[in-house]
Amino acid sequence: GESVGLHLPTLSVQEGDNSIINCAYSNSASDYFIWYKQESGKGPQFIIDIRSNMDKRQGQRVTVLLNKTVKHLSLQIAATQPGDSAVYFCAVISGGYNKLIFGAGTRLAVHP
Amino acid sequence: GAVVSQHPSWVICKSGTSVKIECRSLDFQATTMFWYRQFPKQSLMLMATSNEGSKATYEQGVEKDKFLINHASLTLSTLTVTSAHPEDSSFYICSVPEGETQYFGPGTRLLVL
């Protein structure tokens, strides 16, 4: 079955630096990937998505990179701000009916 | 994306009682909604798929008689935790799919004493 994992459980960065959060997946047939941000006590918030026919997609201060060869995707946050502090999850569509498989999550801590 | 609400945001109940959690899609008609459970410092685990007008589909290991799901309309799904026990204490989150993307509610914190 599908498994999704993250390389680092916790990432500490200085305010203003760029952050990179990594994610690995196991199913080479996965074709849709989403990054979510979850603040403490809240539901996950959609950040950005990417399909397998792309290798890069940019949003506002965020970029997602997809490397299908090694089944790896990353989320880059430019000029990280204190409000970016949260847990970030990658999620992969698996099977029918839009069933999402979530990674373990990476906690991003932004220090002033 | 879809705007999703949940009620209540938190609930404390005694062991053995039942608790109902509502999930509403405020601006989008959803024939399907999803229910997740999240324990502290862990990821989200899909519990079941709620289907409007038909039975819910449960993930392996999730007891359908314990976690009753009713998708009564295109904007409302309810999850009832029956005979709740302390081990059912968790953060319950629903989501609404819009296309392939899922939009999540704010979650319901359940504490069973």
Q: Mind listing the pLDDT tens digit for each residue in A2-46?
A: 556 544 589 999 999 999 999 999 988 888 999 999 999 999 999
What is the Cα–Cα distance from B23 to B9, expressed in whole angstroms? Answer: 11
Interface-testing mutation among B23, B44, B92, with chain A (most A C-beta atoms within 10 A): B44
Residues 37-96 of B with CB under 8 A from A: 42-46, 49, 57, 93, 95
Percent of chain B with pLDDT over 90: 90
Per-residue model confidence (pLDDT) at position A74: 97
Alpha-carbon gap, residue A49 to A62, rounded angstroms? 11
How far apart are the C-alpha atoms of A52 and B53, rounded to whole Å? 33
CA A97 centroid distance within chain: 21
Surface-to-core class of residue B41, CB atoms within 10 Å of its CB (0-12 exposed, 13-18 middle, 19+ buried):
exposed
Whether A42 sits inside 8 A of B105 (CB atoms) is no
Looking at residue B91, its pLDDT comes to: 98
In this structure, what token pair is assigned to residue A29?
A: 């047939």
Give me the residue from B34, B57, B101 closest to A46, CB to CB: B101
Confidence bin at B1 (pLDDT 50/70/90): confident
Condensed to tens digits (0 to 9), the pLDDT of residues B40-62 reads 889 999 999 999 989 999 999 99
Confidence of residue A96 (pLDDT cuts 50, 70, 90): low
Judge whether A49 and A35 are in contact, CB under 8 Å.
Answer: yes
SS3 state at A108? strand
A99 pLDDT band (50/70/90 cuts)? Answer: confident
pLDDT above 90 (res A98):
no
Work out the average pLDDT over A66-76. Answer: 96
- Asked if B1 lies within 8 A of A46 by C-beta distance, the reply is yes
Size of interface A-B (CB pairs under 8 A): 53
Distances (CA, A) of A7 to A72, A107, B50, B108, B110: 10, 11, 32, 29, 30
> How big is chain B, counted in residues?
113
pLDDT at A6: 47
In the predicted model, what is the mean pLDDT of residues A69-86? 96
Per DSSP, the residues of B89-100 read: -EEEEEEEEETT
Which is higher by pLDDT, A98 or A55? A55
The answer to whether the Cβ–Cβ distance between B109 and A41 falls below 8 Å is: yes
The number of angstroms, rounded, from the C-alpha of B104 to the middle of its chain's C-alpha atoms is 10
B28 touches chain A (CB under 8 A): no
Section B66-73 average pLDDT: 94
CA atoms within 13 A on the CB side of B14: 2
pLDDT of A33: 95
pLDDT band at B99 (very low <50, low <70, confident <90, very high): confident
